[in-house]
């Protein structure tokens, strides 16, 4: 009887200690999960705000920037405005049609950001080179045309991906915050770029614009890759847990 009582007491003590260990492990796991959730949320906001920033200023070379560019190269846009409108409309239409094809695909923004920045990298040296203004004009208009097409891709992929980043309950509020940020940031940047263009030169302004796009692209690429890795890891963890539950049952 004494042996039984001692054994029972020791077993009971061990079970209590085991529960305490499990509680400590659970607390550590919860803290880790909370840290991961916070990090993931921060990355989502970096991704969302950086993308929204690009959307806000991306068409600056076509809108406010175009008249400033034509002024620098002394080009009369009125004679060619009809043809330019048609050309840009065709690029935009091509981008919209291709966007319909890829809208349900799981595509990273990286594949839009790479050609986007490559185009700027090619265009900037041409603007500062000693080639004639006609060649600069052609290069600039081609750049804007591809911009129009890539813009359609970018928006489609961004809105498709961002919809799955946040909970449905928070998505509406987050969209409003993002829109406010886009309006304020793009307005400030466009005013500053216009000021630089007036005081210095539009080619310098275009370089600053391209640099801002590049910085935002880096932030998007880094945050996007980490988010995708976390998402893949969580999916594997969920699948593993489901398999373990099935084995237990």
What single-letter DSSP state applies at residue 62? T
User: By C-alpha distance, which of 116, 123, 126 is closest to 146?
Assistant: 116
Question: Over its length of 249 residues, how does the chain's per-residue pLDDT go in tens digits?
Answer: 433 334 344 334 444 344 443 444 444 444 444 445 566 788 899 999 999 999 999 989 988 888 899 888 888 777 777 777 888 888 878 877 877 776 666 778 888 899 999 999 999 999 998 888 889 988 998 999 899 888 988 988 888 888 777 777 777 788 888 999 999 999 999 999 999 999 988 999 999 999 999 999 999 999 999 988 887 776 666 556 555 565 555
Position 219 scores a pLDDT of: 96
Alpha helices in the chain (DSSP H): 2-57, 64-73, 81-102, 110-128, 133-163, 168-199, 202-248
CA–CA separation, 45 vs 170, rounded Å?
A: 13
Long-range pairs for 29-33 at CB < 8 Å and ≥24 separation? none
Position 5 scores a pLDDT of: 37
CA–CA separation, 210 vs 216, rounded Å?
A: 10
pTM check: above 0.85: no
């Amino acid at each position: 009887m004494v042996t039984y009582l001692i054994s029972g007491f020791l077993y009971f003590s061990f079970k209590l200690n085991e529960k305490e260990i499990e509680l400590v492990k659970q607390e550590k796991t919860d803290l880790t999960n909370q840290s991961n959730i916070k990090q993931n949320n921060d990355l989502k906001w970096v991704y969302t705000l950086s993308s929204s920033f690009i959307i806000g200023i991306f068409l600056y070379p076509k809108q406010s920037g175009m008249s400033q560019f034509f002024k620098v190269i002394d080009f009369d846009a009125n004679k060619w405005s009809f043809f330019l409108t048609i050309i840009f409309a065709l690029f935009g239409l091509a981008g919209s049609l291709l966007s319909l094809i890829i809208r349900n695909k799981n595509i990273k923004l990286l594949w839009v950001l790479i050609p986007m920045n490559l185009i700027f990298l090619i265009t900037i040296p041409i603007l500062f080179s000693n080639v004639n203004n006609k060649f600069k004009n052609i290069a600039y208009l081609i750049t804007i045309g591809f911009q129009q097409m890539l813009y359609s891709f970018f928006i489609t992929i961004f809105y498709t991906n961002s919809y799955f980043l946040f909970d449905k309950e928070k998505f509406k509020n987050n969209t409003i915050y993002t829109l406010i940020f886009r309006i304020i940031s793009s307005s400030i940047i466009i005013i500053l770029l216009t000021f630089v263009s007036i005081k210095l030169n539009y080619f310098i302004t275009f370089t600053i614009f391209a640099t801002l796009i590049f910085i935002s692209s880096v932030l998007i690429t880094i945050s996007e890759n980490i988010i995708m890795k976390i998402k893949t890891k969580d999916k594997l963890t969920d699948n593993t847990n489901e398999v373990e539950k099935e084995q237990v049952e």
